[in-house]
A = this chain, B = another copy of it.
């Protein structure tokens, strides 16, 4: 009844005939392309592709997809992933005390905007447990400190591993993750930073913005890398402010931005619309 769809994300050095080759590969095996986006970065001479096709009459069974694309990937020196929409992503949401980003994700998940499972919520504080309870999602508290970070993260990772988590959403989580943690989920940790990066990286971005006297504040959704607030940017947006806005107003207005930008970035990630190359992203929205 339900159609099965596969999505291929592909990046490789640019070469002649790439679109044609991959389209032909799919067509010959009975795959009807339902969506295709490609981009060539002329400076980097790189080719990026997102293609989604209907698996109904496809000659290759879902289980054999990875193997089937191996030779093609090798031929072009490509970095690629395939995912079936039946393989729903499993999320761990990390929070601290602010509820707005978590509320937003839970509400949108309920509306069907995110095609994923929220496997668990992890926090360094107990306050937001009531929200997890309301939505019947396991909630775990790890009171991380500078001192116990390594061992707490080990427990978190074990829990996430057990719950088959493949994606981490940092929904205003106020702790820094260790490089070891980050390395476990390459391009799998999505963060919201409450400024227009690279402006105001680090702590207290609203205070920084307030003191600098900017006329616009922003929010940035990005992948987490080892370097703080430096990962590839998925989505950004801004809101105008004025001298009338106190620091509290900035925080209030910024909240609306954080929610929306994190939601948009998360959705783009969950729909396999983001390709990463170096420090930059290709976003096929």
Contacts and interface: CB of A to CB of B under 8 A. Distances in A.
A17 B32 contact: yes
B198 A212 contact: yes
Interface in A30-54: 32-43, 48
A193 to B, nearest CB: 12
A132 interface: no
A254 interface: no
A155 interface: no
Contacts of A213: 232-233, 279-281
Nearest to A252: B113
Interface stretch (A1-9, A21-29, A140-148): A21-29
Interface in A180-212: 196-200, 211-212
A83 to B, nearest CB: 20
B236 A214 contact: yes
Interface residues of A, number: 61
Interface in A58-117: 100, 103, 107, 113
Interface stretch (A118-126, A159-167, A168-176, A237-245): A237-245
A137 interface: no
A244 B196 CA distance: 20
Given A212-B279, A282-B243, A20 B23 contact: yes
A178 interface: no
